[in-house]
């Protein structure tokens, strides 16, 4: 258990709390809540308690806070003999924002799979979910769609997987359409894979000197590589005879 949410040592300002009607009863303590629970080191100094010690830890920190508070009416309320369970809950959630973490739940392999909705092809690609990809890619048309998604999402592993499992031709690549970008642009965009690009070049799927027709019309892949300062891609393209009108080459 942590005394605050998401392992953050700082208690948020009082107006974030849900028990606003409860807080309105007090004046001084409202100013005291927004603070570090422990020390002054922020998130690197967060009190964490195991299941054995969490009640004791919460109690001691709560007592320490109440004792240091200058709000007399708040102190009297906390020390009241007729304090109801709901009042104690409000005090704890006002002074802290405890969060329970259950690592034992995530350390087991005994999970029940609950299917909430279908996984889209793009989600399967971005997650490198090969089980789902294999389930959905039932023909070459879908394989080309998957290849396109892997290039646009810069998923090198999925792109190479599709290329190694399907016979992709130059005509197939020409059939891949994008509203804004040519396939050559996408292959040489920022952080694009040199391995995927080299595969396309070696198999004759693209020409290294093809001019873009859409975004950055007239430029070529080498221009992109230069713009993004991708030394590895520049070297690769020059190796395969790429040229450019760029005066800085």
Confidence of residue 65 (pLDDT cuts 50, 70, 90): confident
CATH number for region 121-239: 1.25.40
- The tens digit of pLDDT for each residue in 139-195 reads 999 999 999 999 999 999 999 999 999 999 999 999 888 888 999 999 999 999 999
Residue 43 pLDDT: 63
Residue 119: exposure state from Cβ atoms within 10 A (0-12, 13-18, ≥19): middle
Q: Global pTM?
A: 0.55
Residue 14 pLDDT: 63
Angle between helix 54-68 and 85-95 (nearest 10): 80
**Beta-strand runs (E) in 57-197:** none
Residue 133 pLDDT: 97
Closest to 34 measured CA to CA, from 65, 77, 73: 65
- The tens digit of pLDDT for each residue in 100-112 reads 766 655 556 676 7
Respond yes or no: is residue 99 known to be catalytic.
yes
- The tens digit of pLDDT for each residue in 152-168 reads 999 999 999 999 999 99
Mean pLDDT of 111-131: 88
Residue 14: exposure state from Cβ atoms within 10 A (0-12, 13-18, ≥19): middle
Residue 41 pLDDT: 64
Residue 248 pLDDT: 53
Strongest mean pLDDT among 24-28, 48-52, 110-114, 219-223: 219-223
Does residue 31 carry a pLDDT above 90?
no
Domain ranges of the chain: 5-105, 121-239
Does residue 239 carry a pLDDT above 70?
yes
Two structure tokens written together for 168: 């992709």
Helix (H, G, I), strand (E, B) or coil at 231: helix
Mean pLDDT of 185-209: 95
Residue 187 pLDDT: 96
Among the options 28, 70, 99, 123, which is catalytic? 99
Residues β-bridged to residue 10: 36
Residue 116 pLDDT: 78
Two structure tokens written together for 76: 């009297």
């Amino acid at each position: 258990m942590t005394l605050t949410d998401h392992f953050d040592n700082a208690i948020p300002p009082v107006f974030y709390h849900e028990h606003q009607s409860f807080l309105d009863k007090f004046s001084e303590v409202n100013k005291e809540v927004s603070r570090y629970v422990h020390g002054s080191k922020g998130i690197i100094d967060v009190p964490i308690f195991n299941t054995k010690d969490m009640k004791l830890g919460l109690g001691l920190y709560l007592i320490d806070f109440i004792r240091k508070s200058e709000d007399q009416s708040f102190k009297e309320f906390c020390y009241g003999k007729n304090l109801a369970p709901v009042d104690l809950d409000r005090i704890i959630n006002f002074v802290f924002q405890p969060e329970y973490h259950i690592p034992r739940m995530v350390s087991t392999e005994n999970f029940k799979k609950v299917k909430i909705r279908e996984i889209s092809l793009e989600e399967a690609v971005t997650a490198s979910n090969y089980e789902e990809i294999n389930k959905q890619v039932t023909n070459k048309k879908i394989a080309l769609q998957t290849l396109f998604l892997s290039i646009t999402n810069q998923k090198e592993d999925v792109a190479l997987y599709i290329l190694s499992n399907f016979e992709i031709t130059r005509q197939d690549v020409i059939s891949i359409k994008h509203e804004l970008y040519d396939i050559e642009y996408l292959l040489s965009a920022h952080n694009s894979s040199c391995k995927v690009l080299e595969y396309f070049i070696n198999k004759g799927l693209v020409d290294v000197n093809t001019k873009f027709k859409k975004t950055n019309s007239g430029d070529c892949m080498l221009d992109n590589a230069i713009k993004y300062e991708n030394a590895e891609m520049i070297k690769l393209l020059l190796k395969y005879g790429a040229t450019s009108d760029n005066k800085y080459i």
